[in-house]
Amino acid sequence: MSTQFFASKIRPVLLVWALMVVWPTFVMSEYRSINTKFLLTLEDLTLPKSESMGLLGGQYLYKLQPRFALGLGIYGAMTGKRGGFFTGGLESRFSYPIIRQFNLDLGGFIGGGGGGAAPQGGGLMLRYYSQVKYDIFDNTSLAFGISKIDFPNGEISSRQYFLAYQQRFLTWYEPGWSAKISKPISNASKTISWMTRNLQIRQTGYFPSRYLKKTNGDVYAPNLQIIGIAWQQYNYQKKLFYELETGGAWSGGIDGFAQVFFGLGKYFEISDYFSLKMRLALGSAGGGGVDTGGGALFRTSVGLDTLIKHNFTLGLMFAYSASVDGAFRLPSIQFSVGRHYALVNNIHSAQQLAALKDSQKQLLRIRAAWQRYLITGKQARKGNKQFAEQGVDLFSLKLDSFFNRNWYLSGQAHGAFNGGAGGYAVGLLGMGFMWTTALMSPALEMNLGAAGGGGLDVGTGLVAQPMLSLSYALSKTLAVETGLGYFLSLNGGLVTPVFNLGLEYRFAVSRGLNIASQ
């Protein structure tokens, strides 16, 4: 094995694993609370030839020790001329109190991505930072810091100042998957407070006018189809909800187009089953020849949600999205299918804690993995013969929500970090079946989604990826996963075997009887 192979492929994977295995909670089994943090960062990178690119970051961190937090991060271009530049990966942070409400934070990010014709090379991104954070309220903080962003196999290396906003939440969870599953706790209890979260699959259709053109001067197809997922957290007292949405193009001739939105919404209950919703979101979008300028978008939307059986929801929204400095200004229609979860927000006694231990659990799983496309000459990248007979390495993040002990819904994001396909990204939604055992658990899953960028021939972007995997449990919470699958571009030339090697973290949260939180 060559030194170059280790440096470019194995070392990033080992670093990801090293970050994850420091979690002390991997070997803990008691029901406990954990602080979660949602952050937004804004910084201005200097690219080659003194080019400027504004970068918006979103991080979701779990405070696993008094001074250590770990979670997921995603970054997207907002200003400049690189709309469509995205990266995603793992975030870690150490915090040290200074005086009163001031803290010093040291952190890092490892992930993959690129796009927007930026000089990201293979796509591997590293970010290191230090910041001084000030707690302005009990759960809200502002920070100012300095960061260094490197693409080791590309041409981007930039040091800059940044601003950050942080919101804290409290989540109760149980490490591992308990073998005991009983009835859910009644939400009518006045002693346990609840919060509702909603996971949605969203289909968005943009409708461009015949006068709107792509960056290359071509006209758009009559409609542009985007598939993605959204996560919402509700505040029932204020009738508000927070939202994160991601999506990618699968039809309309804009393969490689992706979007990420952070939003705030207000809802009004019309009846027990219908609610009117209004949303305002800020995001980053681009790629696929869509003219979003630097990438920043605003979106307003209004529509209806209806509650159907088993806490499933259907939604229909009408929206208008506008690029800040590009020509992309389009109406759209969104259709969503989601599921509400009533989760514990706070408890106040040992008796309540005992009740949670015996309650019905919502089983969840986070997977971080290295995937490799085993590409042969027939699937070589268009116009680049050197791509033949070599693989493309991707950093993968997978979030799984189980319906029961076996069936689960999976949302996945993959970004290239090596192999000459920098900027290539994949978003997948899938269903899986897992034969859960104490030691080894085989699983079969089928994923559909959107892909594009990096010069890979994926046609319009609609892709499928069936996978067969085997998980080996290292503890109640931690398992190693290996698998083989097949990546199929449904109307493009890329069809290739896929190898997967990763680490998974298993945990559970108590579920309420229904979505009412009062």
Q: pLDDT tens digits for 200-213?
A: 999 999 999 888 88
- pLDDT surpassing 50 at residue 10: no
What is the rounded CA–CA span in Å between residue 66 and residue 2?
A: 40
What is the rounded CA–CA span in Å between residue 454 and residue 123?
A: 9
DSSP state of 290: B
pLDDT category at 464 given cuts 50, 70, 90 is: very high
* pLDDT more than 70, % of the chain: 83
Domains and CATH numbers, the chain: 31-168 (2.40.160.20), 193-346 (2.40.160.20), 357-510 (2.40.160.20)
pLDDT category at 192 given cuts 50, 70, 90 is: low
pLDDT category at 180 given cuts 50, 70, 90 is: low
What is the rounded CA–CA span in Å between residue 171 and residue 185?
A: 16
- pLDDT surpassing 60 at residue 441: yes
For residue 437, the model assigns a pLDDT of 80
Do the Cβ atoms of 102 and 134 come closer than 8 Å?
A: yes
pLDDT category at 342 given cuts 50, 70, 90 is: confident
For residue 171, the model assigns a pLDDT of 76
Q: pLDDT tens digits for 372-406?
A: 998 766 655 454 445 555 678 999 989 898 888 89
Structure tokens at 134: 């000030």
pLDDT category at 358 given cuts 50, 70, 90 is: low
pLDDT category at 449 given cuts 50, 70, 90 is: very high
What is the rounded CA–CA span in Å between residue 420 and residue 386?
A: 9
Q: What is the mean pLDDT of residues 169-195?
A: 65
Q: pLDDT tens digits for 83-110?
A: 999 998 889 999 999 988 899 999 999 9
Evaluate if pTM is beyond 0.95: no
- pLDDT surpassing 90 at residue 352: no
For residue 465, the model assigns a pLDDT of 97
Strands 361-373 and 329-346: unpaired
For residue 262, the model assigns a pLDDT of 92
Residue 386, classified by CB atoms within 10 Å of its CB into exposed (0-12), middle (13-18) or buried (19+), is: exposed
Cα 73 off chain centre by: 7
Strands 51-63 and 68-79: antiparallel
Which has the higher per-residue pLDDT, 70 or 44? Answer: 44
Q: What is the mean pLDDT of residues 160-189?
A: 74
Q: Determine phi and psi for 404, rounding to 5 degrees.
A: -150, -155
For residue 317, the model assigns a pLDDT of 96
Q: What is the mean pLDDT of residues 364-368?
A: 90
Structure tokens at 280: 């305002």
- pLDDT surpassing 90 at residue 151: yes
